[in-house]
């Protein structure tokens, strides 16, 4: 017998014709797009987006501009180039990205893995076992990030098998899970799931929220259950043109997340993924947002603004320039109100 969340997933909308009666839609265009980049919207998120409007609709409904991207790349972060075995990327010395699922609660139109999501089958036991073998053989790996797709779309049993297998490797210190479930399918966060997760600490979750319209009572409850299970929660927000690229919108989201015990972690500049150019903003947009946040909200609510460099260069932080000049041992700064201040550095023999 299927659980409530499994039933919601089974009833997901995958054909644009099913949307035509719900909202204005270029049906022919949407069908052309989904032939290249599949669509999936579960009933929970469908109802929510019809209530909230464009902030959510544009995130998941196909747009013909996805086929008109002049500069996008299939694998913008070079994940395949750093993949010693399928489904695992080892780009940084001490950590690996481990893709354990090929499914998500919704298919985000800006997804950095548009080349994979909804197009590949389930990750097989044999493939997962090969990844365990690689991690075990590389003692420098102390941090394993489970991603996909969304790991929480696996059954409790399958997910526990993966967690227990990774946790059994002596040199792995922490495990992280990247998921959009609390915002896109919060029904998945059950008491049974949380009881199982508690057995595998230290365990961290990176959640994905892009707009405060996603913060429903159900999503708040899901985050509360995870936090009560002792799991530190961080949020990752993708900067999306016309959706969340205004300072007040990001401020509202970050402060609301913090009130839910979710610490803002990253504000991500859009990757150079093929089919996502219409979502991407200029770098100055993100810097403007950070300048607005600094000083107006608690430092706990200020994420790190990062660009994940094309080709596998890794994440680099961007921050507004606050130091105007250096005059000998005196540095001249401006604060968030554009007021100037001077700071004298120490004399060091």
**Token couple for 307:** 């660009």
- Provide φ and ψ at 318, rounded to 5°: -115, 135
> Where is 203: in which H helix or E strand?
strand 203-208
Q: Which domains does the chain have, with CATH numbers?
A: 72-318 (3.20.20.70), 324-349 (no CATH)
C-alpha closest to that of 142 among 202, 80, 206: 202
CB atoms under 10 Å from CB of 155, counted, come to: 11
**SS3 call for 177:** strand
Per-residue pLDDT of the chain (349 residues; tens, 9 = 90+): 789 999 999 999 999 999 988 899 999 999 999 999 999 999 999 999 999 999 999 999 999 999 999 899 999 999 999 999 999 999 999 999 999 999 999 999 999 999 999 888 899 999 999 999 999 999 999 999 999 999 999 999 999 999 999 999 999 999 999 999 999 999 999 999 999 999 999 999 999 999 999 999 999 999 999 999 999 999 999 999 999 999 999 999 999 999 999 999 999 999 999 999 999 999 999 999 999 999 899 999 999 999 999 999 999 999 999 999 998 889 999 988 889 999 998 887 6
Strands 203-208 and 95-99, by their bridges, are unpaired
Q: Is the dihedral of CA 265, 271, 274, 278 positive or negative?
A: positive
Task: Supply the residues annotated as catalytic.
Answer: 91-92, 95, 104, 108, 111, 113, 271, 308, 315
**Residues facing residue 268 across a β-bridge:** 238, 306
DSSP calls for 301-338: G-PEEEEEETTTTEEEEE----EEEEETTEEEEE-TTS
Q: What is the pTM of this model?
A: 0.95
Which structure tokens are listed for 107?
Answer: 């298919």
Pairing label, strands 95-99, 143-147: parallel
Token pair in block for residue 52:
């909230």
Paired residues of 236 in beta bridges = 208, 266
């Amino acid at each position: 017998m299927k659980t409530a969340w499994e039933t919601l997933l089974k009833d997901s909308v995958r054909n644009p014709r099913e949307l035509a009666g719900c909202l204005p839609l270029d049906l022919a265009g949407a069908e052309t797009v989904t032939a290249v980049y599949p669509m999936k919207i579960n009933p929970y998120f469908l109802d929510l987006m019809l209530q909230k409007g464009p902030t959510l609709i544009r995130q998941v409904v196909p747009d013909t501009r996805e086929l008109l991207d002049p500069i996008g790349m299939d694998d913008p972060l070079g994940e395949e180039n750093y993949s010693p075995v399928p489904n695992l990327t080892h780009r940084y010395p001490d950590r690996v990205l481990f893709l354990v699922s090929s499914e998500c609660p919704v298919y985000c139109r800006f997804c950095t893995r548009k080349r994979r999501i909804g197009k590949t089958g389930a990750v097989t036991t044999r493939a997962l076992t090969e990844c365990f073998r690689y991690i075990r053989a590389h003692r420098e790996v102390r941090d394993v990030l489970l991603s996909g797709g969304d790991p929480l779309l696996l059954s409790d049993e399958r997910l526990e098998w993966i967690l227990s297998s990774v946790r059994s490797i002596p040199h792995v210190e922490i495990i992280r899970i990247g998921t959009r479930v609390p915002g896109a399918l919060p029904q998945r966060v059950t008491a049974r799931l949380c009881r199982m997760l508690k057995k595998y600490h230290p365990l961290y979750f990176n959640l994905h929220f892009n707009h405060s319209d996603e913060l429903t009572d159900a999503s708040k409850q899901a985050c509360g259950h995870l936090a009560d299970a002792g799991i530190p929660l961080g949020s990752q927000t993708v900067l999306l043109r016309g959706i969340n690229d205004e300072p007040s919108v990001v401020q509202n989201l970050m402060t609301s997340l913090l009130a839910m015990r979710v610490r803002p972690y990253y504000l991500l500049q859009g990757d150079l993924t093929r089919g996502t150019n219409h979502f991407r903003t200029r770098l100055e947009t993100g810097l403007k947002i950070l300048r607005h946040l600094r000083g107006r909200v608690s430092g706990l609510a200020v994420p790190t603004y990062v660009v994940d460099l094309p080709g596998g260069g890794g994440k680099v932080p961007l921050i507004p320039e606050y130091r105007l000049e250096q005059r000998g041992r005196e540095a001249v700064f401006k604060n968030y109100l554009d007021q100037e201040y001077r700071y004298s550095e120490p004399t060091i023999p």
